[in-house]
Amino acid sequence: MSAFYCAGNWKLNKTPTQALDFAGQLLQMAEAHEQKQMIIFPPALVAFELARAFKTSGIQWGLQNCYSEASGAFTGENSAAVAWEMGAQYSLVGHSERRHVFAEPEDMIAKKVTMVQSAGLIPILCVGETLDDRRWNRTQEVIQRQIRQGLSSADTEKPIWIAYEPVWAIGTGEVASPSQVDEAHSIIRKILKEWSANVHASIPILYGGSVKSDHVSSLAGIHNVNGFLIGGASLDPKEFLKILRASNEIRK
Ligand code: PGA
């Protein structure tokens, strides 16, 4: 089976001391091959400490968000180019909280995808419908729009990942059902095929939304699920590793 990833989105949680504690525990518990399947997205101010802790390990890290320009008069923003120099490999783009809490528009998200790629990082474009969208049968339309617009100026020659995170499942304890995940990920694969017939099959698609070790067994084996984007449950190194191990067990 293809590679499988567990990405931990810490959001605005953990101080540098707590991050180092997490890193110490995780590095002690996780085998080398497991470390290569892990990516952590710390708050930007914590990234420096975490990057140092992970430097000689297989664990990768990335930004939760960055600006659409590498430098300039943009007070308070974070640069993908700086993150690259610090050893980051990824940046989330268009996470649900960026779209809904910070009202980030689709054209800004598309610019960020391009910036992240040109800085040498891999953008993980996050998409997903709200509860209203699902109730009104607009799931496919919303995912299609978010992917088409998000990738409108992206380079098909450079890596890109997608994370499907239904808004109603994020931080709510309500996980999408295996058939809902299967359907959404298949739709995403089809949209990616329209975008690039050459590379679509190799683009990892992560599922996110209340992922915990209890329910990975029903999700990790789904054909187009190439990993998880985990919020709350990624804050505890034992639980994070448990999710990865349970997924690997299913995918054996
Ligand atoms: P959650 O968050 O696992 O806490 O639902 C997922 C995310 O927002 O990436």
Q: How far apart are CA 221 and CA 250, in angstroms?
A: 6
Q: What is the mean pLDDT of the chain?
A: 97
Instruction: Return the percentage of the chain with pLDDT > 90, whole number.
Output: 97
- Minimum-distance ligand 1 atom for the alpha carbon of 172: 5
Given ligand 1 and candidates 90, 91, 205, 210, which is best to mutate, with the most ligand atoms within 8 Å of its CB? Answer: 210
pLDDT score recorded for residue 215 = 87
State yes or no: pLDDT of 2 exceeds 90: no
Q: How far apart are CA 94 and CA 79, in angstroms?
A: 15
Residues with CB under 6 Å of ligand 1 are 9, 165, 170-171, 208-211, 229-233
pLDDT classification of 143: cutoffs 50, 70, 90: very high
What pTM was computed for the model? 0.97
- Minimum-distance ligand 1 atom for the alpha carbon of 208: 6
Tokens, residue 8: 């931990």
**DSSP 8-state assignment for residue 177:** P
Range 244-250 average pLDDT: 97
The tens digit of pLDDT for each residue in 65-101 reads: 999 999 999 999 999 999 999 999 999 999 999 999 9
Rg (CA), the chain: 17
pLDDT score recorded for residue 164 = 98
Q: How far apart are CA 132 and CA 38, in angstroms?
A: 33
Q: Is 95 one of the annotated active-site residues of the chain?
A: yes
